[in-house]
Amino acid sequence: METFKLDISKTGIEVSAEMQAAAQRANALLESGEGAGNDFLGWVHLPSSIDDAQIAAIEAQAAKLRAKADLIVCIGIGGSYLGAKAVLEAMTDPFRLLRKEQQDPTVVFAGQNISEEYIHALMEASKEHSIAAIVISKSGTTTEPAIAFRLIKAEIEKRYGKQEAAERIVAVTDKARGALKTLATQEGYPTFVIPDDVGGRFSVLTPVGLLPLAAAGVDIAALVRGAQRMEQATGTDVAFGQNPAAIYAAARNTLYAQGKKIEILGSYEPKLQYVNEWWKQLYGESEGKQGKGIFPASVTLTADLHSMGQYIQEGERTLFETIISVAKPGAEVVIEADAENLDGLNFMAGKRISEVNRMAELGVQLAHVDGGVPNIRIEIPQIDAEAVGALLYFFERACGISGYMLGVNPFDQPGVEAYKKNMFALLDKPGYEEASKAIKARL
């Protein structure tokens, strides 16, 4: 892809012929379905499978919610939350809530925590608004969103009645399984299906991400278009040297083999902060298993240069960095000359803020490289729906390749069950009686 660039020249590594071949083999496994976790490869050709009719159906449902509500509560956690949150933050004005005229409904999130204070504040604030909800859970049984949904559903029913609630609540869930599916069928909620073969963290381009984003006014057709272009650019017919996902996967595995156990994803655009969070789930859940895996961390720059910068520059040398760089800023603000120059900033007069940001980025890159932190640089042309769609698919494809190169099943997450067992035992859930006694004795 012309507009998406990946640069590993500042990593100090050579990707060996073996690593290149391993990346190509791993990419081929995603295609052939002969690798571990092959029940969950539906995301590989998901972008190209999305047609105009699917986009239109999602947009039509989003339009109905937009017509009814100025506040849409999107309920979900993990893969049923982070993709929509990441794209929404990237695409929208960070100060939109300060604007007197709101064109789009406000989309807020719930069910991504069990904070009483958070849900209470949301319920209170929602009183001033006309509300609707999108409830998302693939399993349909996840505790955090189930708690939030019980509260929001009750509020909607109290205010508008059960019949109207079925016009204001949309479920995104499995086609047949789970409590949410049963509930949605019983209550007559419009429902979108999460395909069986797409795991939560790879589901942003299903209705899991697309419906809340369409409700918020994001151009989902452009998002999908970007992902489609990246699907082509990372296919098995693309040579290693031209395939950014294969190069990224091979570079990070090479660095890992050299003792770089922590990858820090960073950007100089705060709008991309939740892309970092989405990426951490994608890579953390996909690779962190069997005692292996690069630990995914993140920074937002330049803010974190004033906190994490010290460690990155001089701490333990187990880090490498991946920076998402944005070629074209979405606004223009020039630093003006000041007659008194009391702040000493006149040497920057006439420069755009983005030039200063760029020099910070380049200066930091070299400082970190000099400090022993290899640097991978991803450049996207600008922050728009198409570029973000391409970026998300790039990371997904590279994650699948990288996980197979590491020798793990990138599509399961057995480790996330441990906390749930303990929590249910502590909450005396029926069926957990023995575990309950045992865990309480340990407290």
Catalytic residues: 285, 306, 420
Partner residues linked to 192 by β-bridges: 172
d(CA 290, CA 313): 30
| Contact string 145-174 vs ligand PA5 (x = CB under 6 A) | x-----------------------------
d(CA 250, CA 255): 9
Q: What is the DSSP string of 126-143?
A: HTTS-EEEEEEESSS--H
Binding segment toward ligand PA5, per CB under 6 A, in 6-14, 131-139, 155-163, 426-434: 131-139
User: What residues between 260 and 299 interact with ligand PA5 by CB under 6 A?
Assistant: 285
- Considering the complex, what minimum distance in angstroms separates the CB of residue 411 from ligand PA5? 9
Q: Do residues 6 and 377 lie in contact, with contact meaning Cβ atoms separated by under 8 Å?
A: yes
Q: Please count the residues of this chain forming the interface with ligand PA5, following the rule CB under 6 A.
A: 14
Collapse the DSSP code of 200 into the 3-class scheme (helix H, G, I; strand E, B; otherwise coil) and give the result: helix
User: What residues between 322 and 381 interact with ligand PA5 by CB under 6 A?
Assistant: none
* Of positions 199, 212, 403, 410, contacts ligand PA5 by CB under 6 A: 199
Q: Do residues 151 and 119 lie in contact, with contact meaning Cβ atoms separated by under 8 Å?
A: yes
Collapse the DSSP code of 326 into the 3-class scheme (helix H, G, I; strand E, B; otherwise coil) and give the result: strand
Collapse the DSSP code of 48 into the 3-class scheme (helix H, G, I; strand E, B; otherwise coil) and give the result: helix
- Considering the complex, what minimum distance in angstroms separates the CB of residue 393 from ligand PA5? 16
CA 379, 382, 384, 387: dihedral to nearest 10 degrees? Answer: -30
- CA nearest to 74, candidates 160, 202, 170, 179: 170
- Considering the complex, what minimum distance in angstroms separates the CB of residue 214 from ligand PA5? 19
* Of positions 139, 318, 357, 422, contacts ligand PA5 by CB under 6 A: 139
* Of positions 138, 225, 260, 377, contacts ligand PA5 by CB under 6 A: 138
Binding segment toward ligand PA5, per CB under 6 A, in 134-142, 157-165, 299-307, 337-345: 134-142
Rg value, the chain, Cα: 23
Q: Do residues 52 and 176 lie in contact, with contact meaning Cβ atoms separated by under 8 Å?
A: no
Binding segment toward ligand PA5, per CB under 6 A, in 75-83, 184-192, 380-388, 396-404: 75-83
Q: Which contiguous run of DSSP H or E holds residue 108?
A: strand 106-110
- Considering the complex, what minimum distance in angstroms separates the CB of residue 76 from ligand PA5? 6
- Which is closer to ligand PA5, CB of 207 or CB of 374? 207
Collapse the DSSP code of 377 into the 3-class scheme (helix H, G, I; strand E, B; otherwise coil) and give the result: strand
Q: Does 142 bind ligand PA5 (CB under 6 A)?
A: yes
| Contact string 384-423 vs ligand PA5 (x = CB under 6 A) | -----------------------------x----------
Binding segment toward ligand PA5, per CB under 6 A, in 20-28, 76-84, 154-162, 303-311: 76-84
The two three-digit tokens of residue 41, written as one number: 């490869």
Strands in 129-226 per DSSP E: 131-137, 169-173, 191-193
- Considering the complex, what minimum distance in angstroms separates the CB of residue 87 from ligand PA5? 16
* Of positions 85, 168, 201, 368, contacts ligand PA5 by CB under 6 A: 201
The two three-digit tokens of residue 306, written as one number: 């004033």
User: How many Cβ atoms from other residues are within 10 Å of residue 237's Cβ?
Assistant: 7
Binding site for ligand PA5 (CB under 6 A): 77-80, 137-139, 142, 145, 199-201, 285, 413
